A and B are shown apart, each in its own frame.
Chain A
Amino acid sequence: MTVQPMPTIPDLVHNGAIVKIDVELAPHDQPLRLLYGTSQFVAWLREVLDGARPDQMLGHSSIAEQIDDLFYSFLSGEQLIFTRQFRAVRAEENAVWELKTPDVRIFGWFMARTALSPCSEIGPTRSRTMISTEVIASRSDGCAVNWASMRHCA
C-alpha cells in the first residue's frame, strides 16, 4: 500500500483546489499573511464585486468595502481585533476561525496553530447576517491553510 503525501499549498493551487487571494496594499505594506480561497469562495467574491449584497445591511460601508478592509488588515499583518474582526468558533486544534465584518462572516481554519493570536475580548457580538461562502487562509510562512465552509442565514 502506498501512502500519498499530504498536498502542500502550492500543490493545491497548482491543481486548482484553491486560489490565492489578495488586495491592493498600501505603499509601505508587505503581505505578512496569505489568504487562499476555494473556487466557490472566489465566485462569491466576484458576485460581491458585481454588487451582490444581503437584503438587510448593518454596516455603513458597502460589502465590498468591508471585505477589502478585512482582507487588507489580514494580509498586511495588522493586529486584528478579537471578536470584532475574528474569533475562534471552536477552541480546539484545527479549530474553525471566523473573519468578520458587520455584515459578513468568513469561516475557515489554519493548518498550524500559530496563525492568529487573540489580543483581547472586547464584548459579546450580536447575531448578524452571514453570507454563504468558504475561504482558505495561510500565513506567508506557510503554516496555515483551509478556511472551511460558510452558511447563509439572516
Chain B
Amino acid sequence: MTFFRFDIDTRSRLAGRFIGRVRRELLKAIVEEKQGGLTQQELARRLETRRSDINRQLSGEAEITLRSLADLAWALDREVTVELRRPDAATGQNIAPATSTIGYQPVRIIAPKAPND
C-alpha cells in the first residue's frame, strides 16, 4: 500500500473541522492580541471568568457556547461572521461530497490495491 486516506463520514468531518476552525480563529486572534500585550489573565478579567476556563475552551477540553464565543470576540475586539452556504461547485475543484465514497455511511478506509492484488 502506498497511499492511505483517513476518511471519516461527512457529518463528522464537517463537525470536527468547524469546531477546529472556530478554536483556531480564536487562538489566532489571541496570538495577535498577545503581541499587543494582552494576556490570558487580562482576557479572563475582561470576561469576569477564570483563566483556566478560557484555557479549557481554547484547548478543546470544554465546549464553546455561542454566548462564550461572542463574549470572547468582544473581549478580543473582534466581530464574529457566520454564513451558511451551499458547497462550492466549479470545474477543477475538490468537491468533497462528490469525491467521498462513504457519504453518511459508516467509516471505511480507502486505499489502492497492492500491486499483487
A5 CB within 8 Å of chain B: no
B78 CB within 8 Å of chain A: no
Contacts of B61 in A (CB 8 A): 58-60, 102
Asked whether, in the complex, the Cβ of A102 is within 8 Å of the Cβ of B1, the reply is no
Contacts of A79 in B (CB 8 A): 24, 28
Asked whether, in the complex, the Cβ of B4 is within 8 Å of the Cβ of A45, the reply is yes
Asked whether, in the complex, the Cβ of A81 is within 8 Å of the Cβ of B88, the reply is no
Q: What range describes how many residues of B lie at the interface? A: 35 or more
Contacts of B37 in A (CB 8 A): none
Contact of A61 among B19, B27, B99 (CB under 8 A): B19
Asked whether, in the complex, the Cβ of A122 is within 8 Å of the Cβ of B62, the reply is no
Q: Which of A111-154 contact B (CB under 8 A)?
A: 119-120, 122-123, 125-126
Tell me the bound Cα distance from A50 to B106 in angstroms: 9
Q: A-B pairs with CB below 8 Å: how many?
A: 135
Tell me the bound Cα distance from A72 to B28 in angstroms: 17
Secondary structure of the A contact surface, majority rule: loop
B67 CB within 8 Å of chain A: no
Known: A19-B2, A19-B3. A64 touches B31 (CB 8 A): no
Tell me the bound Cα distance from A139 to B63 in angstroms: 33
Asked whether, in the complex, the Cβ of B4 is within 8 Å of the Cβ of A84, the reply is no
Contact of B100 among A24, A45, A59, A125 (CB under 8 A): A24
